[in-house]
């Protein structure tokens, strides 16, 4: 497995295709170092003996020990470990661990490429292509971004109806050696520090949208793809250093007549499977949220409790009520993911058909629980910020810059006037408000909230998944029976699977 230093060395050798604020930059530019440190944590922690079970796995392709972020889930234990690994790592970096797009993208493509090969038996090699790519990905312990979100143009038009045909990434040309693609993927997290980029469709596709049913992988510094990156760093500190400084990046990926050889193509024209791939990536990604959102909740809860202590209001009943609200969201999100892991199977839910076998046997978390967990946690983002804002007061917004604390003209007075709880040192109180200002009032804090709300799909997408997959009709029958209405047959009710479990579990 790779070390953090191996990862940085590999980044330093990549070609320059990253544009930042009008300039071409190196991947190891100082601007990216906080983000690289977050990603590097996934290597450092995997090397620790105490994390071996959680963070490593045995490759089902080679039998070798691999970093769990490159693993294909083989059973429910793997799903549990992925959720718990995500929570543990997000706690370590105080936010998003940023490597989940790769594990979620690879697991989705692994399953869908297998099924797509059945459409024209013998004519396509998507699954073998993907397994070859995956073997190298696992051996070299690489990082992959997953590029799903298209520009989407007019939201009410389907891909083939758009005024600009490249509003969704599409196959422009097919040759005997590969495909030529064009379009742009938006908001692609950590593509600027990834080895590879996985590209997949973003929505359900009709037969006339078949050129948009495309999945492939390219190196992140590939000719034919430019990255325009936004880098989200906290304000630099000289004197009062943080315990850990996280950084994030998001790229717009521009595909300009980008040639992709067939061995890197995992789907090319199977519209139905394009839609399933979009949904399956979202499903795996919503499962990842059941690890990261509870961890982010852990940090918010700790911050809210500390803010209350600094203000010496921690024993007040309204604070207890708010802390309990945070805990309920954290643990309900975690419990939903835990259940999704526990009920995982090599199956997907198809409306009207129920659970059907899918893929070559790797494990997929349960859809309803992934979606309810992600929707509950995603929508709670602004409420959690509201609770923090309420308990903290206005100080987080206006806390003076660090050099005003080191300047003899103002430092002593500032410490005196920012001290609140007499039982905590003024220095610690100041350091706490600096942290909370970073988290709540910086550009990075705002961006993280938007990401936590929309990442993995806006809440409406989870609501659509939940209501189309949940057996609401059976609940109507239940009430008809209890109310004594016609259509409420007791025997029919006995056959209904009210707890959403796969029947033979």
Ligand X SMILES: Cc1cc2nc3c(=O)[nH]c(=O)nc-3n(C[C@H](O)[C@H](O)[C@H](O)COP(=O)(O)OP(=O)(O)OC[C@H]3O[C@@H](n4cnc5c(N)ncnc54)[C@H](O)[C@@H]3O)c2cc1C
Binding site for ligand X (CB under 6 A): 101, 146-149, 152, 155-156, 187-189, 250, 447, 450-451, 454-455, 457-458, 460
Which residue's CB is nearer to ligand X, number 274 or number 392?
A: 274
Which residue's CB is nearer to ligand X, number 460 or number 503?
A: 460
Q: Determine the residue with CB nearest ligand X.
A: 451
**Contact between residue 355 and residue 363 where contact means Cβ atoms under 8 Å apart:** no
Which residue's CB is nearer to ligand X, number 202 or number 429?
A: 202
Taking the complex as a whole, how short is the minimal distance between the CB of residue 44 and ligand X, in angstroms? 22
The C-alpha atoms of residue 227 and residue 431 are separated, in whole angstroms, by: 36
User: Which residue bears the tokens 């409306």?
Assistant: 351
Token pair recorded at residue 287: 């499962």
Which residue's CB is nearer to ligand X, number 155 or number 416?
A: 155
Taking the complex as a whole, how short is the minimal distance between the CB of residue 64 and ligand X, in angstroms? 28
Q: Which long-range contacts (CB under 8 A, 24 or more apart) does 430-434 make?
A: 430/240, 430/399, 430/405, 431/240, 432/306, 432/307, 432/310, 433/310, 433/392, 433/395, 433/396, 433/399, 434/237, 434/240, 434/399, 434/402
Taking the complex as a whole, how short is the minimal distance between the CB of residue 399 and ligand X, in angstroms? 25
Which residue's CB is nearer to ligand X, number 137 or number 338?
A: 137
Token pair recorded at residue 376: 């509950």
Residues 6 or more apart in contact with residue 433 via CB below 8 angstroms: 310, 392, 395, 396, 399, 418
User: Which residue bears the tokens 């070390």?
Assistant: 3
Taking the complex as a whole, how short is the minimal distance between the CB of residue 452 and ligand X, in angstroms? 8
User: Which residue bears the tokens 């983002």?
Assistant: 381
Return the CA Rg of the chain.
Answer: 24
Taking the complex as a whole, how short is the minimal distance between the CB of residue 428 and ligand X, in angstroms? 31
**Contact between residue 85 and residue 42 where contact means Cβ atoms under 8 Å apart:** no
Residues 6 or more apart in contact with residue 211 via CB below 8 angstroms: 160, 170, 171, 172, 269
Which residue's CB is nearer to ligand X, number 297 or number 457?
A: 457
Taking the complex as a whole, how short is the minimal distance between the CB of residue 403 and ligand X, in angstroms? 31
Helices (H), ranges, 380-425 = 381-392, 395-398, 403-406, 411-418
Taking the complex as a whole, how short is the minimal distance between the CB of residue 213 and ligand X, in angstroms? 16
Which residue's CB is nearer to ligand X, number 232 or number 477?
A: 232
Taking the complex as a whole, how short is the minimal distance between the CB of residue 299 and ligand X, in angstroms? 17
Which residue's CB is nearer to ligand X, number 276 or number 392?
A: 276
């Amino acid at each position: 497995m790779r070390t953090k230093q191996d990862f940085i060395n590999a980044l330093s050798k990549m070609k320059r295709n990253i544009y930042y604020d009008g300039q071409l930059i190196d991947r190891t530019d100082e601007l990216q170092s906080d983000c690289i440190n977050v990603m590097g944590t996934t290597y450092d922690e995997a090397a620790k003996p105490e994390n071996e079970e959680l963070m490593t796995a045995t490759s089902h392709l080679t039998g070798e020990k691999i970093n769990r972020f490159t693993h294909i889930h083989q059973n429910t234990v793997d799903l549990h470990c992925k959720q718990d690994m995500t929570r543990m790592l997000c706690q370590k970096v105080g936010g998003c661990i940023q490597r989940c797009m790769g594990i979620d993208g690879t697991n989705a493509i692994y399953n869908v490429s297998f099924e797509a090969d059945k459409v024209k038996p013998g004519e396509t090699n998507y699954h073998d292509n993907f397994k070859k790519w995956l073997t190298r990905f696992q051996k070299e312990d690489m990082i992959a971004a997953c590029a799903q979100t298209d520009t989407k143009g007019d939201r009410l038009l389907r891909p083939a109806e758009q005024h600009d045909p490249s509003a969704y990434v599409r196959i422009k040309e097919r040759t005997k050696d590969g495909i030529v693609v064009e379009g742009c993927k938006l908001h692609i997290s950590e593509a600027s520090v990834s080895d590879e980029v996985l590209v997949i469709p973003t929505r359900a596709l009709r037969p006339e949208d078949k050129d948009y049913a495309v999945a492939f992988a390219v190196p992140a510094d590939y000719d034919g793809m430019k990255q325009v990156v936004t880098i989200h760093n906290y304000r630099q500190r000289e004197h009062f250093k943080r315990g850990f400084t996280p950084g994030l990046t998001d790229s717009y990926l521009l595909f300009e007549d980008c040639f992709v050889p067939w061995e890197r193509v995992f789907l090319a024209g199977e519209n139905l499977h394009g839609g399933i791939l979009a949904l399956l990536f979202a499903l795996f990604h919503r499962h990842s949220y059941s690890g990261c959102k509870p961890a982010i909740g852990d940090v918010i809860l700790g911050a809210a409790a500390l803010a209350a202590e600094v203000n010496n209001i921690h024993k007040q009943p309204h604070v207890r009520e708010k802390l309990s609200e945070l805990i309920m969201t954290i643990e309900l999100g975690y419990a939903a993911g835990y259940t999704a892991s526990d009920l995982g199977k090599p199956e997907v839910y198809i409306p009207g058909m129920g659970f059907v076998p899918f893929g070559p046997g790797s494990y997929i978390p349960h859809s309803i629980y992934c979606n309810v967990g992600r929707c509950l946690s995603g929508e709670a983002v602004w409420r959690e910020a509201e609770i923090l804002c309420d308990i903290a007061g206005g100080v987080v917004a206006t806390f003076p810059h660090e050099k005003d604390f080191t300047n003899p003209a103002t430092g002593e007075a500032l410490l005196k006037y920012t001290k609140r709880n007499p039982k905590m040192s003024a220095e610690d109180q100041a350091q706490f408000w600096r942290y909370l200002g970073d988290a709540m009032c910086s550009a990075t804090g705002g961006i993280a909230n938007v990401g936590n709300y929309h990442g993995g799909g806006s809440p409406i997408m989870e609501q659509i998944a939940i209501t189309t997959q949940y057996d609401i009709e059976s609940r109507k029958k239940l009430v008809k029976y209890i109310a004594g209405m016609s259509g409420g047959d007791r025997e029919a009710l006995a056959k209904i699977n009210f707890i959403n479990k796969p029947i033979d579990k």
